[in-house]
Amino acid sequence: AASPRTDIRDCSVNPPYLPPTATNTTARLAALRDAMRAHSTHAYIVPSTDAHMSEYIAERDSRLGWLTGFTGSAGTVVVTQDRAALWTDSRYWTQAERQLDCNWELQRTSQCGQGGGWILESVPAGGNVSLDPFLFSIDTWNSYSQALQGSGRALLPMETNLVDQVWGDQRPPPASSEIYGLPAEFTGSSWQEKVAGIRQQMAEHTRRPTAVLLSGLEETACDWGSGATGLFNLRGDDIPYNPVFYSYTLLTSTNISLFVDEARLTAEARQSLRADCPGPLCVELRNYSQARAHLQRYAQGNVTVWLGTEYTTYGLYGVVPQEKLLEDSYSPVMLAKAVKNNKEQELLRAAHVRDAVAVIQYLLWLEKMVPQGQVDEFLGARHIDALRRAQQHSHGPSFESISASGLNAALAHYSKRTLSVDEMYLSDTGGQYLDGTTDITRTMHWGTPTPLQKEAYTRVLMGNIDLSRLVFPPNTAGRNVESFARRALWDVGLNYGHGTGHGIGNFLSVHEWPVGFQSNNVPLTAGMFTSIEPGYYRDGEFGIRIEDIALVVEAQTKEPFLTFEVVSLVPYDRNLIDVSLLSQEQVQGAGSGPSRWPAPAPPPPPRWARWPSARSSPCCSLSCRPDPDSSPAEAASSHHRSLPCFAFFFFYFHPCN
């Protein structure tokens, strides 16, 4: 249960003390409880995802947000007649305290919460526990089922969604915007090549599946998926910040069925899908709402359907007889998408070059403006978003920019606190570009940080360096190495409560599974991109996170081991680095890899620290090539990897005066 000691809310007084950001949910909860009674349901479970296990969702699917007022992206809610609780992880604890009213217990979890024990406590034996089976993955269904097994409480799927029923006509309408094709210059391979690749994997599998079912649009913090958006090189705008659209795909050895609102496809997109009709590369367009019925019919034949248990909903899964299922954690599409080919790698690198220019422009602007007291968190976020939009191929931010000053950085989202030279500031932002998706976090201080802030920042940076520099064998799981990002903090009894990294897409999801460092991620393979983002948060004081994107590459060892090449190109704040804490390896670079940390700074030390991230790029040896005639942005975007250092120098170092 929520600890009253640290909760911002005080529900023990009458009337309760609530922050102004809390939502009054009494009427909504009462209406839901009426609906539950009408359906003889004693507990109703509401997830934060949609029917495709998406992490970022459309407003229309924000059932949990509407019901609770909590807008964080990861959470689970259980409502009974006399209790209501929200489970969420440490990224969102403070936010939840600010947004929930006293109807809600806040259950602080270290991972995605389930609430099995709480349900047993709160629902009498003989009671019914219900949920919408189209909003829960098979694995999540199974975990509830296991928790209730033998307890005398029944877990019942209910096709009527009770929240939707209560929400009524206040609920936003479905998406209607255009679904468009991605130009060939921005795709790593054609959709026909991708389909052929999946069919080959089907043919080579010992179980000889006859079809693959694709459900996910993108990924969530605890689940993942993939779908038509990636497979067919199409994009839509159904979900803010994520160029995806609602669809299911059933890909058989001879047919392709795409379940989508056909009217939304551009003429070109439609043409691309239908060019080879009829034939095995002809995409049959079917109504989105027909996916389940079609799958049910298909499953009556002599077929085997391959699907991923973590991102397929229990609602779809249930229509295929058990003996016709080939269940895997990962579908071949997911695995194929996770490993970027050379063209995709180059596209992602190029996007990071332009993105670095925008972020560095932002850092420069902050350095000038913050001392004047003119910037608040909201204006800061708006400014970085605008700088990104000015970059070539930009499609806006890849998620809602996090711009958090002082104690707000322990809260995952920003308000309107004024940035100050007396506080730390955390900026976690990213961009969508036609050639790639970016995500980067920098933490800074323009005045005099406290010794604790400086030590914590340095230890977070040490973790980032230690993991980025790690050499490891092929097929190593991320979870087996993510502790290297924590050790420098652990040494002094510090830690952070979130994951250490996630995959990232090519103009797709900023959180792209199954790559990353969590327990359900696949082993690291050359060609995968992941974020590396240790942090440290001190409630009520400050927050630190240092996030870069890194490509898994072959290491320069005799055996074919792997390591990371960091593709983020934005420097760190020297003002927060206590060099005396760094090991010689961290300062100088050592072992088999190239040096990735500059030699001890020449006096006077520059404002921003950086170690050359690219083993292939000599540019970051901090040589000086100012060219005042071309704008840095132009130069960077045309020369890709060779010019960002120039840009840094132009803006920050001016070492050639």
**Residues of the shown chain interacting with a copy of itself in the complex, contacts defined by CB under 8 A:** 117, 120-121, 149-151, 206-207, 304, 322-326, 470-473, 476, 479-484, 487, 490-495, 555, 557-559, 561, 583-585, 591-592
- Would you list the DSSP string of 116-179? HHHHHHHS-TT-EEEE-GGGSBHHHHHHHHHHHTTTT-EEEE-SS-HHHHHHGGGSPPPP-S-B
Closest CB to a copy of itself among residues 469, 511: 469
Tell me whether residue 493 or residue 628 sits nearer to a copy of itself (CB atom).
493
Distance CA 644, CA 621 (A): 12
Say how far residue 407 (Cα) sits from the centre of its chain.
23
- Measure the CA–CA gap between 166 and 531, rounded to whole angstroms: 39
Supply φ then ψ for residue 85, to 5 degrees: -140, 150
Smallest distance, Å, CB 203 to a copy of itself? 15
Least spacing, CB of residue 306 vs a copy of itself, in Å = 11
User: Strand locations in 343-480, DSSP E?
Assistant: 394-397, 402-405, 424-429, 431-433, 436-437, 440-445
Q: Is residue 478 a contact partner of residue 550, using CB atoms and an 8 Å limit?
A: no
At its nearest, how many Å lie between a copy of itself and the CB of residue 133? 22
What is the rounded distance in angstroms from the CA atom of residue 119 to the CA atom of residue 123? 6
Minimal distance, residue 223 CB to a copy of itself, in Å: 21
What is the smallest separation between the CB atom of 443 and a copy of itself, expressed in angstroms?
A: 21
Nearer to a copy of itself, 493 or 603 (CB): 493
Continuous segment of H or E residues that includes residue 231: helix 228-231
Tell me the closest approach of the beta carbon of residue 113 to a copy of itself, in angstroms. Answer: 16
Q: Residue 70 or 472: which CB sits closer to a copy of itself?
A: 472
Looking at beta carbons only, is 404 or 410 nearer to a copy of itself? 410
Closer CB to a copy of itself, residue 145 or residue 253?
Answer: 145
Residue 252 tokens, joined = 């058989």
Minimum CB–partner distance for residue 228 and a copy of itself (Å)? 26
CA 319 to chain centroid:
30
Q: With respect to a copy of itself, which residue has the nearer C-beta, 218 or 466?
A: 466
Conformational region of residue 361, where left means phi above 0, alpha means psi within -120 to 50, and beta covers everything else: alpha
Q: Judge whether 536 and 542 are in contact, CB under 8 Å.
A: no
Q: How far apart are CA 87 and CA 74, in angstroms?
A: 9
| CB closer to a copy of itself, 450 vs 631 | 450
- Nearest residue (CB) to a copy of itself, 570 versus 587: 587
Per-residue CA distances from 412 to 92, 98, 401, 428, 532 (Å): 6, 12, 10, 9, 17
Residues whose CB is less than 8 angstroms from the CB of residue 603 and which lie 6 or more positions away in sequence, other chains included: none
Q: Which is nearer to a copy of itself, 193 or 491 (CB)?
A: 491
CB of 593 to a copy of itself, least distance (A): 8
* Helical segments of 554-631, H only: 584-588
Instruction: Decide whether 145 or 392 has the Cβ nearer to a copy of itself.
Output: 145
As a whole number of angstroms, the distance between CA 250 and CA 48 comes to 25
126: left (phi over 0), alpha (psi -120 to 50) or beta: left
Say if residues 92 and 412 touch (Cβ distance below 8 Å): yes
CB 555 → a copy of itself: shortest distance, Å? 7
Q: Give the shortest CB-476-to-a copy of itself separation in angstroms.
A: 8
Q: What is the 3-state secondary structure (H, E, C) of 526-541?
A: CCCEEEECCEEEECCC
Q: Which is nearer to a copy of itself, 207 or 416 (CB)?
A: 207
Give dist(CA 559, CA 454) in Å, integer.
39
CB of 327 to a copy of itself, least distance (A): 8
Q: Minimum CB separation from a copy of itself for residue 525, in Å?
A: 16
Residue number with CB closer to a copy of itself (232 or 330): 330
Find, among 625, 629, 616, the residue nearest to 648 by Cα: 625
Q: At its nearest, how many Å lie between a copy of itself and the CB of residue 77?
A: 21
Pairing of strands 256-259, 283-286: parallel
383 three-state secondary structure: helix
Neighbour tally for 355: CB within 10 Å: 30
